[in-house]
Every structure is written in C-alpha cells, then in structure tokens.
Amino acid sequence: IQAKRRLDYQPPHFFISTVDLSVKLEDPKTQVKSQLKVIRNGEHRHPLVLDGEELPLIDIKINANSVTRYEQTPTSLTLENVPDEFYLEIYTEIDPASNSSLEGLYKTENAYCTQCEAEGFRKITYFIDRPDVLSEYSVTIYADQKAYPYLLSNGNKVDSGKLEDGRHWVKWHDPFKKPCYLFALVAGDFDLLEDHFKTVSGRKILLQLFVDKGKAKRGKHALTSLKKSMQWDEEVFDLEYDLDIYMVVAVDFFNMGAMENKGLNVFNSKFVLADSESATDEDFFNIESVIAHEYFHNWTGNRVTCRDWFQLSLKEGLTVFRDQQFSADMSSRVVNRIKNVKVIREHQFAEDASAMSHPIRPDEVIEMNNFYTVTVYDKGAEVIRMLHTLLGQQGFKNGIDLYFKRHDGQAVTCDDFVSAMQDANQVDLSQFKLWYSQSGTPVVSVKERFDDATGEYILEFQQINAPTADQQQKQNLHIPIRLEFMCNGEKPSAELFELKQGSQTLTKSGFTEKPTVALLADFSAPVKLEFDYTVDALLKIALQSQDGFSRWDAGQKLFSEYLHGKTPAGSTFKVSLRDIDNLINGIFNDKQADTDWALLAEMLTLPNIETLAQQVSRYYVVELNKARKELESHIANTFSANFLLIYSESAQSGYKYTATQVNKRKIRNLCLHYLAKTDIGDKLVSEQFSASSNMTDSLGALKAAQSALLPCFERLMSEFEQKWADDPLVLDKWFALHASSEIPDILARLDLLLSHKQFNHDNPNRVRSVIGTFAFYNPTGFHAIDGSGYKYIADYLLKLDARNPQVAARIVTPLSQWKKMDEARAELMKHQLTRLLAQPNLSKDLYEKVSKSLS
Ligand code: B3K
Ligand code: ZN
C-alpha cells in the first residue's frame, strides 16, 4: 500500500470541461452513462488515466466511436494516444444496494444517495477524481416514480418527464464548475418542507428540506438555522448565495455529519431532525452549527476549492472558524469558546500525542478519509483564529475579500490563502505559515520575576516544540499570547504578546505590587501552557478576571492539579480540598454568575477524564477516575444547599430553544448531576424524569442517574426505551448511556445492545452510539486490566472493517492511543492492534492507522 505525498503534486494532464451524466436507478444494476468533454492540459503525450473502483465497464467511446484498446486495473482505466480535445462516453454498471461502505452511490432503506468526498466519485463512474479538475455538470436521473418521486441533483432542475413503464426522469444543470467530490444525487420519497430567503441583493431563494416521511415537524429548526446562516454570512462576510435553490436532504445512513454538495447538501438525519420532545438543547445547537457549516462551505470550499486533498484545511479549518464565529454570535461567545477549547484539549492534543500526529496540512496520506481529523478541522480553525487575532476583524475581512477576488472559481492551496491575508494587510506571515507544516502541540513555558525596588515585572517565555511521531525536526512558531494583568484596586489591563523566538522576554514597569497575570486568555493559541501559578493567583483569576474564558480556565487548572495530585502522576501545585471549596464558594457568591447560568455551569464542571489524560505524560486511568468521582461527591455533599437552591430557582415551564431557557436547563441539570450524588439523589432524579416533557431534562435525569449509579437508573432506562422503541435516532442516546455505564458486566450489556431490535450493524449512528461510545467514553470498561475491553473493540472492528472501513478506522482511534498507558495496558492494546494488522484484506483505512500505531 502506497502513500501519496504532498510534494509530489503535478497538475492534471487533462481537464474535463463538461460532464453529462445519465443514471438509471434500478436493483441490482444501476446504469451510469457519462459523457465527458476532455481537453489536454498543455503539450504532452501522456495517456488519459481515469480513476475507477469496482466498476464493471460495459462500453467506452471516443467521439462516438467504440474504443477497444484500453487498459483496465482494479483502480484505473488508461487510454493511450487520445486526441487533444474529444468527447468520451463511458457506460458502467453499479450495485448501490450492496454498497455498505456508504461511499459512492448507495441505497439505504428507502432512498438512493451519494457521498463523493473525498474520493467516492470513482465508485460511480470513471473520472479524473481529484479536486483540481472542475467541470460543468448536467445530470439526468431515471427511476420508478412511485418509489422515488423525488429525483435530485446539483443546481437547477431544467427538465423532467414520464416514461411508459411507471418510471420518470428529471434533468439537472449546475452552472457553477465544480470538482466531482461536490457532485450529489438523491432519489427517494420524502416529506418536503419549503421556505424562502431573500438575499441582500433582493433575489428570492427557494429553500427545500427533505426528510423521512412523517418527520416534517422535526425539520423546522434546521430551516430556521439555514436562514440565520444565510443572513449572517451576508452581514459578516458580504457573501451572498448564488443559485436560486438550496436543498438539504436528511438520510439515516451516513458516515459523518453532513456534506456540502453544491446546492444539494446531504445530512445525517441526526443533524437535521429536532423537536423539544425528541432532541436536546445540544442537538438543537449542533443542528444550527452543522447547517451553518455546510452552508458556509458554499463559498469557502465550493466557490473556492482545494487544489489537492493535502490542502483540506483550506476549506475545513476556515469553515469551522466561520461556524464557530456564527455560533458565538447566536448565543454566548465565552461559552462557545470554552466548547471549542474542550475539543482541542480533549481530542486534538490526544491526536498530536499519538502515532497519527500530522500537521493541519498533512504531508503523507494513504487513505484520505483518515484525514478528516480534529487536527485538520479544529486545530485548522485555531490557526485561522490566530490570523484573526493578529490581523483584527477588519484586517481579516480584507484578507478574505482579496482571497475571493483572486481565487473565485479556482482550486487553490493554503499558501494562496495566507498570501491573500499577507498582501491585504502588508504583513510578513512567513513564520506564521509554519503552523501549516509543523505538527505537534507546542509547550509555552513561562517564568515570572518581580523587582520590588523598581516595580518591574518580567515574564520570560520559552517555546518548546518536541518531536512528534511524524516529524523529528521542529522550528519556532509565531504564537500570539493574550495576557491580562491584574492589580489590586485597578482595572485589569489586557495585551497581546507575539512569541516568535525560542526564548523571549516581556518587561512591564510601573507596578507598585506584583501583578497577577492570566496567560493565554481566550486560548489565543493551540498550545499547552506551563506556568507556576500560585493557588492564590488561580483563585484570583477564577473569581476576578474580566475575561470569562480565563476565569473558567483558572478554575479548570485548580481542579486538574488537585486531581493529578491524587494519582501517582502527582502535581507540583499543592492544591488542597480547602482550595477547591474556596473556589466553589467564590463561584457561588459571584455576583456576575447568576446573570450567566451557562458560564456558571461550565465553571462548576470538572474537566472530563479524557482531557485530564492529556495533561500528563502517564495516564493513570483508574486512580484518576476514582479521584474525579470522589471530588464530585465531595462537592455535591459540601454544596448541596447551593445546588438545591439553584435547582429550584432555575425551574421553568414549557420548552423553547432560546438562550435564556437553554442556559437555565444547563445549570439545572448540572445541579441535578451533583445532587444525584447526595442522599436525595434517587428521589430528585426520578421526579425530574417523570415531570419532564422535553428531551434535555429527561436525558439530564438519566445521565445524573447513570453517573451516580442510582438505583432508579435501570427503571428509568426501560421506561425511556419503551417510549422511544420506534425511534432509533432517539434510542441512540439510550444506547450511548448504556455503553458508557461503568458497570462490572459491561461487555454482557454491550452484547445485549448489539442484539437489540433497533440496532443495525450497517447504520453508523447505531455503531457509534454503542461501540464508539464504549471505546471513547467508558474508561473503566475499555481499559479493564484484563484487556477484555480492548479485545471486544478489536473483535468488532474485524467484522466492521469489511462493511464500512471509514467508520472502523474512526473507532480504532482510542485503541491506537496506547502511548500514555501503563505498560500492562499498553501491551494489551498493542496485542489487539497486532491482531487487526494480521487480518487478511484489511482496508487501507484501518491499515494506515493500525500500522502507524505499531511502528
Ligand atoms: N466535507 C464533509 C466531510 C467529508 C468527509 C469525507 N470522509 C463535511 C464537512 O466538513 O462539511
Ligand atoms: Zn466542512
């Protein structure tokens, strides 16, 4: 198996200016006829090489004449001595019903649907399947009218008709040139929700949302979110929608969240369907954010796309940054920032510390689908955010304007993006660009000195870029560090420090006493910070900083250090239980807090075990988990009166997805989480569960019961199961709660879940909710010292890999991250990885991740 390298990029030998596709949907054989206008790129004599996978070729013609001389391999079709410009007709047959990889054209329970990014188009027809080949598409779809009344593709519907045999056809034309990964086709019977959006220039856009029959009322929130996104992009980035129609289809079988196909987004139904009874506030939030993300891709991804897949962060990092800014504007900026930072610290730091470490612009790839990672997406967004921090909102906007002015309609690189930012602002970003090529989490180590006599305060910064699995040599990065100085009786002052060298000093004078400094405010760079804060300083920042993020972060630091101090990892910070009590007392007494319930809830939440694991070089899973549980119990019992008071104050009637209501439910369920660990827990949790008429509060009760191992847990879970027996999307929450339960016989429980009548091994949502949740979020079960958890996952992956390699390769992640574990567990994990690697016909997806983790 061969890796592709970024530096080997060569422009395509041929372009394809137009594509005329005709797809006749039928079981088991779907006929695909493709007519391509092929144009040689420059003067050369290379053959035309087309990509294609598992494609039975029926016929092939050049300028209407059948071709007999061609070379076919399992992944390509080569034609020698072709003209400089010609029409190529290719006729293939595929079987969507047996395509369980959910890539290419596949058939779900009641619909046909495509997923082409990254390299799925080659499973539909022979093509030059790379993002720098841009073509104008016409697509005609034929299918049985009764079973498939809606036949959809990109762009505008231009014609349609009926055939005599009960079949019908629809023809689509997309006027915008696009790479084949943005092609989409959907056929099915749906409920349709319609709305309109009037653009800033006065054009009326038809919005259509297609959902499973009977689910129309759950689609309203997605449509509202779409309109908000369209308006936000006009207001903030002057970006207007370009086609006259925008369609979104929700499907049940989908490998990831959603896909931004031009004019025809395809979504995992999980990110579309919501109403108060069946969806949580978090679901509502995620829908708004994923709808926005895919919509924003219309400019950052579709109008300007990637030259090659190594540039993926060009569109993903930027689009994640845009959706984060949007979410922040829709609700609370601070709470959203906390959310983003949690993802980085919990998942991205783990990836950087693993064998899969890679820069946001990878250099080597075996299976592209393995690189849709938290590094490319979320660290990518942090890199864009740093540009935004360094250039300011206006400077950033000027850069974006220049980027579109230069590159609209093109397939470009990350360097092109940075150049636009640089030229629009006349700054030198050459050192900054290293963030694109260098992997790993930088450590910024800071020391302070204060001179009583002169009033001078000195901060000595050092950056340490340690070697990673993929890269030995590192260079110094350009790291923006926000600081806040706090002095007694004065208004805190903020400042942006740019760390560019290995060591650098910042000197401030004029202090009458040693200031308290809060470093890395707003998480201004994706780094780990080392600084010997005093406990008093952390308490002061946590309770008095002007910056909500810094307050939360200081509290998290106190919790973390206290917890590590309880394990063999230890801590040099001497945080006592008294300090924790002081912190929590302070948080409760804080006047600002009751105006922002959501931030209060964040401040009172302990870092999760996965985040704690990333703060130390050795992960003592059992000890850490125990310490964390004990601390939660302590907090619950020491502050039960406070929790109870807020619990009753935050009660509300009726459900609306508004910031005020969401924040109240959030603090209320946090209080319940703690109160569950007191002696009124069982009663209170049962009461909330019975009284609740919305999913947020019902699930809040179940989660509280699970985490406190309450007697009522099993009973409430079966009530829930009965109520939602026919709704697998809702049952996913139930599956996941069971799978993350830290009960002794967890593997037997998993077996039961897998044989549940709503479980379906071919549905990625189901597989993720049971198998994924167990591997990622059941520390005691997964890391059981007898290795049974690891074996369970490996056994499952051996079967899953043959059906759906993409999903298998995602779920192997926790197993591959064995480096931080103790020797015994590390050996057991490696043993399972070795078993996987020995599997004949292992997919490229799993091969890449498993082999890396063992080398
Ligand atoms: N671009 C898609 C992801 C495609 C993943 C392919 N394995 C969704 C998104 O990021 O918007
Ligand atoms: Zn995206």
Q: Is residue 802 part of a domain?
A: yes
51 CA from centroid of ligand 1 (Å) = 20
CATH number assigned to the domain comprising residue 344 = 1.10.390.10
Q: By residue range, what is the domain housing residue 839?
A: 724-855
Domain limit, last residue, from 121, 154, 189: 189
Q: How many CB atoms lie within 10 A of CB 55?
A: 23
Pocket of ligand 1 (CB under 6 A): 117-118, 256, 258-260, 293-294, 297, 316, 369, 372
Structural tokens at position 427: 């700054």
Tell me, yes or no, whether 474 and 373 share the same domain: no
pLDDT higher than 80, residue 734:
yes
Closest ligand to Cα 316: 2
Minimal-distance CA residue to ligand 1 atom 1: 259
| Residue 574 · residue 625 · CB < 8 Å | no
pLDDT higher than 70, residue 595:
no
The confidence score (pLDDT) of residue 110 equals 85
The mean pLDDT value for 173-201 works out to 98
Q: Find the helix or strand (DSSP H, E) in which 529 lies.
A: strand 528-531
From 260, 267, 369, give the residue whose CB has the most ligand 1 atoms within 8 Å, as the site to mutate.
260
The DSSP bridge pattern shows strands 204-211 and 245-251 to be parallel
- Cα→Cα distances 360→202, 309, 398, Å: 39, 12, 23
Identify the CA nearest to 360 among candidates 313, 419, 305: 313
Q: Could you give the CA distance from residue 379 to residue 377 in angstroms, rounded to a whole number?
A: 6
Q: Is residue 778 part of a domain?
A: yes
Instruction: State the burial class of residue 430 (Cβ atoms within 10 Å of its Cβ: 0-12, 13-18, 19+).
Output: exposed
117 CA from centroid of ligand 1 (Å) = 7
pLDDT higher than 60, residue 592:
no
User: What is the pLDDT of the chain when averaged over all its residues?
Assistant: 97
The confidence score (pLDDT) of residue 594 equals 52
| Residue 361 · residue 472 · CB < 8 Å | no
294 CA from centroid of ligand 1 (Å) = 9
593 CA from centroid of ligand 2 (Å) = 35
Q: Is residue 662 part of a domain?
A: no
Tell me, yes or no, whether 109 and 157 share the same domain: yes
Q: What is the pTM of this model?
A: 0.99
Q: What percent of the chain has pLDDT over 90?
A: 98
Ligand 1 nearest-atom number relative to CA 301:
1
Q: Is the ipTM, as predicted for this complex, more than 0.85?
A: yes
- 383-405: pLDDT as tens digits: 999 999 999 999 999 999 999 99
Domain limit, last residue, from 189, 209, 238: 189
Q: Is residue 73 part of a domain?
A: yes
From 254, 256, 286, 321, give the residue whose CB has the most ligand 1 atoms within 8 Å, as the site to mutate.
256
Neighbours of ion ligand 2 (CB under 5 A): 316, 319
Tell me, yes or no, whether 468 and 387 share the same domain: no
CATH number assigned to the domain comprising residue 773 = 1.25.50.10
Q: Could you give the CA distance from residue 55 to residue 34 in angstroms, rounded to a whole number?
A: 13
Tell me, yes or no, whether 358 and 482 share the same domain: no
Tell me, yes or no, whether 796 and 832 share the same domain: yes
Tell me, yes or no, whether 20 and 127 share the same domain: yes
- 610-643: pLDDT as tens digits: 999 999 999 999 999 999 999 999 999 999 999 9
- 114-134: pLDDT as tens digits: 999 999 999 999 999 999 999
Tell me, yes or no, whether 166 and 99 share the same domain: yes
Minimal-distance CA residue to ligand 1 atom 7: 369
From 102, 114, 116, 117, give the residue whose CB has the most ligand 1 atoms within 8 Å, as the site to mutate.
117
pLDDT higher than 70, residue 460:
yes
Minimal-distance CA residue to ligand 1 atom 9: 259
Q: How many residues does the chain have?
A: 855
- 694-717: pLDDT as tens digits: 999 999 999 999 999 999 999 999
Tell me, yes or no, whether 475 and 404 share the same domain: no
Minimal-distance CA residue to ligand 1 atom 4: 117
263 CA from centroid of ligand 2 (Å) = 15
Q: List, by residue number, the catalytic residues.
A: 294
Closest ligand to Cα 318: 2
Domain limit, last residue, from 411, 437, 463: 437
Q: Could you give the CA distance from residue 407 to residue 305 in angstroms, rounded to a whole number?
A: 9
- Tell me the β-bridge partners of 485: 493, 517
Total domains, the chain: 4
Tell me, yes or no, whether 517 and 402 share the same domain: no
20 CA from centroid of ligand 1 (Å) = 25
Q: Is residue 215 part of a domain?
A: no
CATH number assigned to the domain comprising residue 452 = 2.60.40.1840
Tell me, yes or no, whether 89 and 126 share the same domain: yes
Identify the CA nearest to 286 among candidates 722, 657, 835: 657
Sign of CA dihedral 847, 125, 23, 223: positive
| Residue 225 · residue 185 · CB < 8 Å | no
Tell me, yes or no, whether 61 and 182 share the same domain: yes
Q: Is residue 691 part of a domain?
A: no
The mean pLDDT value for 433-445 works out to 98
Q: Is residue 227 part of a domain?
A: no
Q: Is residue 671 part of a domain?
A: no
Q: Could you give the CA distance from residue 260 to residue 294 in angstroms, rounded to a whole number?
A: 5
Tell me, yes or no, whether 451 and 397 share the same domain: no
